[in-house]
């Protein structure tokens, strides 16, 4: 069973629908015991870094997420779910992230000709052999919606980048923890292949 963490994030149902399309047994929950029993766990998310951390605290999910990642079961952060795994974000100064991975979330710089938020399809460049990308051809197009981007401290965990006025660390992997800034559940065949690869870990 794949547990999807419920903290009132906006893209939960689309993640659930994609996993069910792939034939996976999924459960949307914020119950600690249910999440700990899950074979794999997904942390979705759209919205504000600070608001999301407040919800995770309110529902007692911060400690649960740390437990889950320490148990070494596959864990996937999507969009804001990627950002929350890191230490801090310029979007919400003074708010501590989960700190499971080292790095910071920065505002995409204003660049002539580029709109903020970064919204729409962009291609990935793979590096460091990410397991989510098994069976995919180089430079697949995936769907982004974000105004802030990851700069990871450890280059070795970065598995895909994209360009949007700056180099964006678009996907990371460290041990059992995976995360994507883009939305695989909205990224057509390539995104479904990534979710299938996660489900089959």
Residues labelled as active-site residues: 79, 183, 185
Handedness of CA 44, 179, 109, 151 (dihedral sign): positive
Asked if residue 90 lies in contact with residue 148, where contact means CB atoms within 8 angstroms, the answer is yes
Burial label, 52 (beta-carbon count in 10 A; 0-12, 13-18, 19+)? buried
Instruction: Quote the tokens at residue 159.
Output: 């598995």
Residue among 45, 6, 10 at smallest CA distance from 148: 45
């Amino acid at each position: 069973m794949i547990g999807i963490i419920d903290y009132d994030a906006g893209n939960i149902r689309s993640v659930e629908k994609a996993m069910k399309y792939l034939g996976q047994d999924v459960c949307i929950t914020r119950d600690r015991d249910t999440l700990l029993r899950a074979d794999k766990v997904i942390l979705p998310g759209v919205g504000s870094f600070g608001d999301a951390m407040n919800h995770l605290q309110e529902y007692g999910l911060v400690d649960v997420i740390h437990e889950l990642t320490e148990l070494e079961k596959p864990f996937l952060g999507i969009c804001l779910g990627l950002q929350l795994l890191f230490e801090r974000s310029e979007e919400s100064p003074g708010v501590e992230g989960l700190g499971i991975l080292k790095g910071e979330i920065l505002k995409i710089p204003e660049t002539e000709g580029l709109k903020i938020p970064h919204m729409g399809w962009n291609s990935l460049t793979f590096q460091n052999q990410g397991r989510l990308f098994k069976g995919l051809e180089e430079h697949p197009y995936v769907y982004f919606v974000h105004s802030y981007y990851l700069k990871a401290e450890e280059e070795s965990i970065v598995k895909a980048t994209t360009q949007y006025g700056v180099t964006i660390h678009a996907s990371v992997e460290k041990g059992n923890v995976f995360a994507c800034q883009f939305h695989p559940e909205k990224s057509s065949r390539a995104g479904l292949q990534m979710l299938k690869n996660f489900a089959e870990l």
